[in-house]
Amino acid sequence: MKSAKIAAVILILFSFLANTAVATASEIQSPPEIAGEAGIVMDVETGRVLYEKNAHLKLEPASTTKIMTAILALEKGDLSDIVTTGKNPTLVDGTRIYLEEGETLTLEQMLYAMMLNSANDAAVAIAEHMAGSVESFAAMMNEKAREIGAKDTNFVNPDGLPAAGHLTTAYDLALISRYALLNLPEFRKIVATKTAVIPWQGQEWDRQLINLNKLLWNYEGADGIKTGYTSTAGSTIVASATRNGRQLIAVILKSNGTTSKDCSALLDYGFNNFERKSLLKSNSVIAEKSVTYGSPVKLVTEKEFVTIVPKNNLPITKKAYIADNIDAPVKKGDILGHVIFYQGCTVLGSVNLVAANTVKRKVYTYWWFWVISPLFAAYAPYRISIGVKRYRRSRLRKAQAISPAKRYK
């Protein structure tokens, strides 16, 4: 009777656990459907892609182009630089702050106008200030894109207005934006700003700038980056948001007017279904390895390994791969192996194992030591005997140099 009751309790408990597991699994959302032709969600810290749709399809970026314009302006210019408006900025189409030829603003003010109000005239003014012409600045943009790793991007202008060959991908825009967020504090400040005021030359009032990125007002944690629209590119957006220390980038290209709604859904998907895991701290000792011709060396992790993984998924495992033969000398920091992390059959990434200390080669392990040692062993007594004889002669000379009076005193 007792056995039957125990069996029943076990059965109920098992059913409860199974149902809990099913419920937990069902809580994982499916990726949202977006209207855009291409999209992506990327984790800023690790660069891991959490969602993608046609992420490498080349499309027009519209005003999200200005992200690269801002990067170059911040890296190669000074915020206090005075930018003088030439004729070309006054002739551009689209969104403007109505700069007049000869009008001056600081580079910082031009950047706020470009990134908040999407001012095309400010973008051209910045380009001419930085490179002398739009064409030369576009070449700088493309060079920087290659440097960042955006291989499928080609910029023709600094503002994103339609032009033959002016194309990028959702993936490349995420890479470019990630670079800016990680390396340029002033960029992060500008793209997170909702409103700003800059001078308006010849007017009694200042220019009131309002960020066109609606997510800054209605999405929790939103902190950037840039929207865009042209008749050929459709609606575009690169958005970023930070929650609980995690920052994500979402990109949508060639969409209709639902980009803000779709972008919110993509960001929600990334925050709700993935989590950050620190799997190994920097300088963690993984092994101690013997060194041929030297003392043992400790192998430590070169840096912290952080990854983003789906919640409630397979356990994470790791395996260390260390060089079979390590010969002295070894310098501190030499790469001697690596640790690879797996989730099921999926490789999450790796971290290098480096020498924690310098190991010098022991002198007696060199071939020349065994050639020189016998010669030294034979030569040393000879040199010692010569030294003794010289010492005795020196003492004798000193004794002979003493006057006879002192000698027999």
Residues with catalytic roles:
63, 66, 118
Task: Yes or no: say if 301 and 281 are a contact pair by the CB < 8 Å rule.
Answer: yes
Residue 236 tokens read as 């575009």
Taking the alpha carbons at both ends of the chain, their separation in whole angstroms is 124
d(CA 259, CA 36): 7
d(CA 252, CA 343): 29
Torsion 58-153-95-134 (CA) sign? negative
d(CA 88, CA 81): 19
Task: Yes or no: say if 209 and 116 are a contact pair by the CB < 8 Å rule.
Answer: yes
d(CA 237, CA 44): 16
**Residue 81: alpha-carbon gap to chain centroid:** 28
Task: Yes or no: say if 238 and 255 are a contact pair by the CB < 8 Å rule.
Answer: no
d(CA 267, CA 34): 12
Rounded to the nearest 10 degrees, the angle between the axes of helix 120-131 and helix 66-76 is: 40
d(CA 134, CA 89): 10
Peptide bond into 32 cis (omega under 30): no
d(CA 362, CA 350): 33
Backbone angles phi, psi at 361, to 5 degrees: -75, 135
Backbone angles phi, psi at 55, to 5 degrees: -65, -20
Beta strand 274-280 with 305-310 is antiparallel
Assign residue 39 a region (left: φ > 0; alpha: ψ between -120 and 50; beta: otherwise): beta
